[in-house]
Structure 1
């Protein structure tokens, strides 16, 4: 397995996003999810990514079951501060006292005494980032976490956080059809020595070419609420997938592999974490590491998937307001 660095933390060149292993994009098979984590570890993928917000903590419970006898093989990453209320509303909490409570709850669920990479999942606009980071530094001093991360943070927030303590990784969405981080965040991460963790590098499954209409999504699939998966936008975005499929055929790979290989070309400090709950898709993702893209293919992808090419916003309007604070 090829490796990359997030700050001074060495991880596999791709990680495994575990959000879809508990209900969000439909209802996955829990046992197959556990087998998928084992399969990842057996093939050298050690960055395992979760959050206490995923299925109200049940995602961390599942990961605990999967890694109980192989904790030493895992770079365990999880997040706090993104609150999902039972009624469907959302809130954020970055208060120092909450940071400790959330960390200790995650440690219990994960069945471990230390979290390797701990992120604030959403930035709390009502709490100075310096205060949140200060509480995370206290947890590191106590040996409860090893490295600090931010998720969905604006450039200035990253600068302020990094001034308090080095930030190992910034995690946010990045793929062929979500490229806004290229305007400033990627260069800032590189200059600070902060790694960049790209979630949804396959566009929440759309860049696989396997989703051609909302009917392909389960009734309880949250993507049905995402604008890009609305019927009219999926139709508009079909042209992007057609080109991706053609280029992938020329490359001799699957569209998902081409999309993932593209992310891997963007910098050696960038680690994509494609999510899957099935071993067959994990194997496909791993194979993307061996794909070499020509300058012509890169140029064609850059032209077709130019900034803003995708129809529809990444999230519903309410969630868009909480991004990059």
Structure 2
């Protein structure tokens, strides 16, 4: 497994990382799957306090209680669970300082390797939000922080005003909007990109085509067919082609892949065996559809 440095931190994250949102409700089964991933070289595990209303963090914490020093645990904050079971966005300093304690308890650890704001808008008290992360870093409760966002205007603000080391963002052959600006900016500022959605909800891997981010079902089907053709020509699997497309992009440190089953884990691990996407193949795929641009939050 290849490992990449996250920004200017000393965190070395596996190129393929585990998106824990897909875990099921069985803690024992989850632990077995997470241990298999770790044993095969995956060291970066991404969860959030929002997932399963905290149960996801609990499951991850149970799994790695005896291996804590060998893994990178990343979680997220900002979606406050209300008494009625709904959530409300809260990026205040007071809330973040309170929420981290609950995440630490559920994860059964005294520090979080990467704490991420789970979204964000320009209406947030951004300086207070950053101050919360900086305070937690100074207290040793988190090692580093970042944000999870697709919004260029929010990413620019945090890039200019904080010491974040990473941005998690959606990027795939069916969502190349980050190529317009954010990928280049983050790379220039040595802030690593963690990619989610590299399979585009499985649409690139053979799931029935549907409208997606402004592309028609026919266009989505055409891109999926192009991925299959490229995979066949390179003696690879569609998942390898789809993931390598994003991983070969400068500044991308890891593809966060949602994994629910042993079969999905095996598929994710095979990505590593496909070292790179030939430039000609990449150019061919890029020409299949015209890249979209962000219409909001620019």
TM-score (norm 1): 0.82
Contact 2:93 2:131 in 1 (8 A): yes
The offset of 1:148, in angstroms, is 0.9
Matches within 5 A, 1:126-275: 126-152=123-149, 154-209=151-206, 211-212=207-208, 228=212, 233-234=216-217, 236-275=219-258
Asked if 1:294 is matched to 2:278, the reply is yes
Contact 1:35 1:279 in 2 (8 A): no
Gaps of 5+ in 2: none
The offset of 1:239, in angstroms, is 2.0
- Per the alignment, do residues 261 and 108 of structure 1 end up closer, same or farther by CA in structure 2, a change over 3 Å counting? same
CA deviations 1:49-95 (Å, max 9, x no partner) are 01111111111111111111111111110000034668786531101
The offset of 1:202, in angstroms, is 1.0
Asked if 1:63 is matched to 2:60, the reply is yes
The offset of 1:183, in angstroms, is 0.8
Contact 2:203 2:209 in 1 (8 A): no
The offset of 1:279, in angstroms, is 2.2
The offset of 1:245, in angstroms, is 1.0
Question: How many angstroms apart in 1 are the aligned matches of 2:289 and 2:262?
Answer: 29
Question: How many angstroms apart in 2 are the aligned matches of 1:155 and 1:124?
Answer: 10
Gaps of 5+ in 1: 23-27, 215-226, 314-319
Partner of 1:12: 14
Contact 2:195 2:256 in 1 (8 A): yes
Partner of 2:259: 276
Q: Give the aligned length.
A: 295
CA deviations 1:189-239 (Å, max 9, x no partner) are 111110000011111222221x2268xxxxxxxxxxxx639xx95455222
Calculate the aligned-residue CA RMSD, in Å.
Answer: 2.7
Question: How many angstroms apart in 1 are the aligned matches of 2:270 and 2:150?
Answer: 31
Partner of 2:3: 3
TM-score (norm 2): 0.89
SS of equivalent to 2:16 = coil
CA deviations 1:265-306 (Å, max 9, x no partner) are 112543111111122222222221232322221111111143
Question: How many angstroms apart in 2 are the aligned matches of 1:69 and 1:234?
Answer: 46
Q: 1:36 aligns with which of 8, 33, 36?
A: 33
Contact 1:5 1:269 in 2 (8 A): no
SS of equivalent to 2:202 = helix
SS of equivalent to 2:61 = helix
SS of equivalent to 1:271 = strand
The offset of 1:156, in angstroms, is 4.2
- Per the alignment, do residues 234 and 29 of structure 1 end up closer, same or farther by CA in structure 2, a change over 3 Å counting? farther
